[in-house]
Amino acid sequence: MNPEIRQNLSLLSLSVLLAIFFWAIAVESEDPTIQRTYPNTIAVAYRNLPDDKIAYGEDVRVQVTLRTPQSIWESLRPEDINAYVDLSDVATGTVDLPIQVEVDRSPLEVVSVSPKEIRLTIEQIAEKDVPVMVIQEGTPALGYETQDSTTSEAPHPW
């Protein structure tokens, strides 16, 4: 290869690298990357709970520390941050599950979550038919009358 072309390629490569370096410095100084704890706590949701199970435990809210450009930080809203536990493969009993966080903005990095885990009790839902008999005792007050009793199925609490 011609020595003059080799020297020009070396200078071109160096120029491109320096241009990228100075461009990155300019962007960083205009919109610096910051790391802060989000001021609002985020509620933890349950995801992928099988229909035949129920989960309960104390309501947990997490503090999330994020690293992002300042312009993104200033536009973040609580609904942009989602904390959840995945219950798709969970066994019955009391379990400690990791809390996961997703943020609907980028570029953004989740640095830490506190607490990192949640303790839940997972139980199998069971249904059982139980016969019910309605017994009326006493007589209605003066001016009132009884009607035939009826029963209806109560809605499930879940």
Is the peptide bond preceding residue 107 cis, with omega within 30 degrees of 0?
Answer: yes
- Based on the fold, state whether residues 92 and 107 are members of the same structural domain: yes
| Residue 99 covered by a domain | yes
Q: What is the pTM of this model?
A: 0.65
- Based on the fold, state whether residues 69 and 87 are members of the same structural domain: yes
Q: Characterise 138 by phi-psi region: left (phi > 0), alpha (psi -120 to 50), beta (else).
A: left
Q: How many domains does the chain have?
A: 2
pLDDT tens per residue across span 22-48? 677 666 666 788 999 999 999 999 999
Domain that holds residue 40: 32-124
pLDDT tens per residue across span 100-141? 999 988 888 999 999 999 999 999 998 888 887 778 788 888
Strands 42-47 and 81-86: parallel
Q: What is the CATH number of the domain that holds 62?
A: 2.170.120.30
- Based on the fold, state whether residues 53 and 3 are members of the same structural domain: no
- Based on the fold, state whether residues 50 and 21 are members of the same structural domain: no
| Residue 17 covered by a domain | yes
- Based on the fold, state whether residues 7 and 83 are members of the same structural domain: no
